[in-house]
Amino acid sequence: MRVLGIESSCDETGVALYDSARGLLAQGLYSQIDLHAAYGGVVPELASRDHVRRLLPLIQQTLADSGLTLADIDGVAYTAGPGLIGALMVGAATGRAIAWALDVPAVAVHHMEGHLLAPLLEDEPPEPPFVALLVSGGHTQLMRVSALGDYTLLGETLDDAAGEAFDKTAKLMGLPYPGGPQLAKAALAGRPGAYTFSRPMVNRPDLDFSFSGLKTQVLLAWQKSGQGAQDMADIALAFEQAVVDTLAIKCERALEQADCSRLVVAGGVGANRYLREQLQARCARRGATVHFPRLELCTDNGAMIAFAGYLRLRAGQSEPPAVACRPRWDLAGLPPLSPALG
């Protein structure tokens, strides 16, 4: 089965072609970073309009790269939520129209399920059951994955997501958009121990997160500092360490509570070098394994949508002709899938 995947939930237009026999055939990605940089964040209307401009040419280019034509497509998968409603509608309407014209099934994909399943595109995919840390600009969640499509929420952020906290913290120190990667880069020059911030909620037995208070600590430290380059690097390092330690502590606790020995990490923050190092070290100490997608599949992309869509289409799921998107969508409420990957 060959599936065309379309991702347009926020500020990146992603397209990919997945073949159940040959794997990922081709993918294309267009980032709107330059478009939104002048505003310091994503402007939803501008994001939607840019998806309109970029999506069809990107589909054509991805098809050309794969050596296929539209006639070779057996199904279409598109992100239907969560995300910006205007941006979602561009991808959903385009995907549904292509499927209708080709008389092939179309399936709506949950954006975070796409992230969760992205590590399964690697050569040695983890098998359920496992714990998944979904950590991005809009989400920070711990899920128990009993089988593909069978998700139980273990804990989530009560306010800012980890990626959002990275971006907002970077912005308050004057770093350019997108702030998260800029802050991680600045942290490389930081001096360990120059600043220390709390690890929020780690003394509570639950698996929820909160990062808003950590932002406040950073703001106060920045205002009291000399606001020079070294101050920025030191504060950035202390902030990164606090967030990563908090995530890692909760992941260890989740593995224990869920009685699992495998951890899957997905989402944009999963590309953070320090997070990868800490989780690998902690999992190794407890005899567990940790699985990440390749760096290019951490951020929003069409490959994860094409793959998740393939699994849903293979299970016989598809959508009616009407286009429907869900800006808010509970991952735990999705219908189950077969655990086999064949």
**Residue 51, marked binder:** no
Name the CA radius of gyration of the chain, rounded.
20
Rounded to whole angstroms, the Cα distance separating 73 from 78 reads 14
**Residue 111, marked binder:** yes
Rounded to whole angstroms, the Cα distance separating 330 from 93 reads 22
**Residue 245, marked binder:** no
Cα torsion 114, 129, 151, 181 to 10°: value is -40
- Count the Cβ atoms, other than its own, within 10 Å of residue 320: 8
Rounded to whole angstroms, the Cα distance separating 305 from 214 reads 33
Q: In sequence order, which ranges of the chain are alpha helices (DSSP H)? A: 33-37, 44-66, 85-102, 111-117, 162-172, 179-187, 212-224, 229-258, 273-285, 302-314
Which residue do the tokens 């000399």 mark? 226
From the list 301, 329, 270, the residue with the least C-alpha distance to 84 is 329
**Residue 146, marked binder:** no
From the list 122, 123, 147, 24, the residue with the least C-alpha distance to 132 is 147
**Residue 72, marked binder:** no
- DSSP string of 190-225, one letter each residue: PPTTSS----TTTTSSS--B--HHHHHHHHHHHHHS
**Residue 167, marked binder:** yes
**Residue 291, marked binder:** no
Amino acid letter, residue 333:
G
**Residue 244, marked binder:** no
Binding-site residues from annotation for substrate: 134-138, 167, 180, 272
Feature table: binding site for Fe cation: 111, 115, 300
User: What residues form the annotated binding site?
Assistant: 111, 115, 134-138, 167, 180, 272, 300
